């Protein structure tokens, strides 16, 4: 029996060695429907006051598993949701630990669709500046519980699907994202279209092919809000990201398409505003699908090594802790700041203290010297992508935001100094008592650099 066991282990080792020498890695993929089965409050636009009015496009979650059990596999999940808060990520990570997935080797990303369902404990009362009715909250809680089960299911399905496959990446460009921050004399004055404003048009894709070259899956990443539909649209839909994956899969039967979002917190799709039809949404989806097709037809860089994964949590400081007098003054402001100020004052009355910082996860996956994927939490503005690509090896850098938690907008030093929605008013949505401190950008950038090997750092 002992001899047989040694023989089996040797045979397994030889099989894996042969597979690696052929440029193949154990990779599995899967997708699952996560569409709510009835009316539910949609998240992203606080102007909506009723539950959803039907389904215009079904939502999905997808998973990629890379590596054998002996390698300690890595797992990437994307979901057509407005965000993935720690209240969802944490329980899922604990479940997947039983399947051998270490927390540092799990990345969960949202497409940030503004036509997706609310989740329990995330962007609820403070988002809508009102306490939701009990029956609506009950449906949100039920959906959140079901969602957790489905995310675990798709992860396990991807692990089960693993077989020797080719992994490669290359990068193109799509141009429909446009900066939305209108400025006057260096200060924010409102949302709009800013053609000369900073954006990141890069479209990196990760290709997964069978050993015979057949496309099995493709992951594309683009830095733009999923806000083609306006707040007047009250039906479930994945916006341009949802349209893109459907169009890609229609062109490549049998393949699975994923979308993740880059540092597009201050970029909106242009044009946008389609309320009743899908022309603009499908147009943006087609732009992604067309560029994906172009990239699939040209040379890509094969990734022959499993990623080295790092996960670090830092404390991201807030500008200050607001005083009772400051909060009382906010009661005379707009509806949203006044609503949240009342909540904070109630906490002070109950003897609680207000936070001066919050925990912020930063994750990196490094594929040898060929590629590093950076995962940043929250709604990250474009300055972070530009700075990381400028100060590191930008040609081998892939940056994903809306990953692993949803703490709020992550404004840069420049954007904080300009002020505006991403800096101040949005923080009420995310239950942060004030804006980020000016040094938040440096703390994040330095933490990313510390997680990367020398080939990617100066």
CA distance 42 to 26: 38
Give me the pLDDT at residue 244, please.
98
CA distance 177 to 319: 30
Q: How high is the pLDDT of residue 191?
A: 96
**How much is the pLDDT for 18?**
46
SS3 369: coil
Burial environment of residue 59 by CB neighbours within 10 A (0 to 12, 13 to 18, 19 or more): buried
Percent of the chain at pLDDT exceeding 70: 94
Residues 42-58 as b or e (16 or more Cβ within 10 Å = b): bbbbbebeebbeeebbe
Which among 362, 180, 175 has a CA at the least distance from the CA of 286?
Answer: 175
Tokens of 205: 């894709």
The residue assigned the tokens 């004055």 is: 189
Q: How far is CA 84 from CA 144, 378, 445, in A?
A: 11, 9, 22
| Token pair of 140 as six digits | 């949100």
Contact present, 120 and 148 (Cβ < 8 Å): no
Place of tokens 């080792």: 13
pLDDT for res 276: 64
> What stretches in the chain show pLDDT beneath 50?
1, 4-18, 21
What confidence score (pLDDT) does residue 278 get? 86
Which pTM value belongs to this model? 0.94
Note the pLDDT tens digit of each residue in 90-143.
Answer: 999 999 999 999 999 999 999 999 999 999 999 999 999 999 999 999 999 999
- Rounded distance, CA 411 to CA 422, Å? 7
DSSP state of 122: B
What pLDDT shows up at residue 23?
A: 86
3 state DSSP class of 17: helix
Q: What share of the chain is helix, strand, coil (3-state, %, to 5)?
A: 35, 30, 35
| Three-class secondary structure assignment of 166-212 | EEEEEEEECCCEEEEEEEECCEEEEEEEECCCCCCCEEEEEEEECCC
Report the C-alpha gap between 214 and 21 in whole angstroms. Answer: 19
Instruction: Yes or no: say if 386 and 360 are a contact pair by the CB < 8 Å rule.
Output: no
Gyration radius of the chain's alpha carbons: 22
What pLDDT sits at residue 9?
Answer: 40
In percent, the amount of the chain with pLDDT more than 90 equals 91
The CA–CA distances, whole Å, from 272 to 50, 226, 251, 289, 405 equal: 22, 10, 25, 18, 27
Q: What is the dihedral of CA 323, 325, 329, 330, to 10 degrees?
A: 30
Q: Quick one: which of 447, 370, 375 has its CA closest to 76?
A: 375
Residues 6+ apart with CB under 8 A from 360: 313, 314, 315, 316, 377, 378, 405, 407, 410, 444
């Amino acid at each position: 029996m002992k001899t047989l066991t040694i023989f089996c282990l040797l045979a397994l080792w030889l099989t894996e060695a042969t597979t690696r020498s052929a440029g193949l890695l154990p990779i599995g993929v899967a997708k699952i429907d996560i569409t709510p089965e009835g009316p539910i409050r949609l998240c992203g636009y606080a102007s909506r006051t009723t539950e959803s009015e039907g389904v215009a496009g079904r939502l999905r979650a997808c998973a990629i598993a890379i590596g054998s059990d002996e390698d300690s596999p890595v797992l990437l999940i994307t979901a057509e949701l407005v965000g993935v808060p720690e209240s969802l990520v944490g329980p899922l990570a604990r479940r997947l630990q039983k399947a051998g997935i270490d927390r540092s080797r799990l990345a969960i990303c949202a497409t940030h669709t503004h036509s997706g369902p609310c989740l329990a404990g995330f962007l609820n009362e403070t988002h809508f500046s009102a306490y939701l009715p009990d029956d609506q909250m009950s449906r949100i809680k039920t959906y959140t519980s079901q969602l957790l089960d489905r995310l675990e299911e798709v992860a396990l399905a991807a692990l089960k699907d693993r077989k020797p496959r080719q992994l490669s990446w290359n990068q193109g460009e799509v141009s429909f994202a446009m900066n939305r921050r209108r400025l006057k004399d260096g200060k924010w004055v409102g949302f709009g279209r800013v053609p000369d404003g900073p954006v990141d048009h890069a479209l990196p894709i990760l290709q997964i092919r069978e050993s015979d070259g057949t496309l099995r899956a493709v992951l594309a990443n683009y830095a733009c809000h999923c806000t083609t539909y306006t707040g007047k649209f009250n039906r479930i839909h994945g916006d341009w990201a949802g349209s893109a994956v459907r169009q890609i899969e229609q062109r490549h039967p049998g393949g699975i398409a994923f979308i993740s979002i880059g540092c597009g917190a201050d970029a909106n799709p242009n044009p946008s505003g389609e309320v009743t039809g899908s022309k603009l949404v499908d147009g943006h989806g087609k732009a992604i699908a067309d560029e994906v097709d172009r990239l699939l037809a040209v040379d890509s860089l094969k990734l022959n090594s499993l990623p080295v994964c790092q996960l670090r949590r830092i404390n991201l400081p807030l500008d200050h802790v607001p005083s009772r007098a400051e909060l009382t003054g906010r009661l005379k402001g707009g509806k949203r700041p006044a609503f949240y100020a009342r909540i904070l004052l109630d906490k002070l009355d109950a003897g609680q203290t207000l936070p001066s910082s919050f925990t912020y996860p930063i994750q990196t996956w490094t594929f040898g010297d060929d590629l590093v994927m950076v995962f940043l939490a929250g709604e990250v503005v474009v300055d972070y992508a530009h700075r990381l690509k400028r100060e590191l090896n930008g040609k081998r850098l892939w940056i994903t935001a809306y990953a692993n938690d949803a703490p709020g907008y992550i404004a840069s030093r420049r954007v904080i100094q300009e002020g505006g929605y991403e800096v101040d008013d949005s923080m009420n949505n995310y239950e942060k008592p004030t804006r980020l401190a000016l040094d938040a950008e440096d703390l994040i950038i330095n933490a990313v650099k510390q997680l990367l090997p020398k080939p990617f750092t100066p």
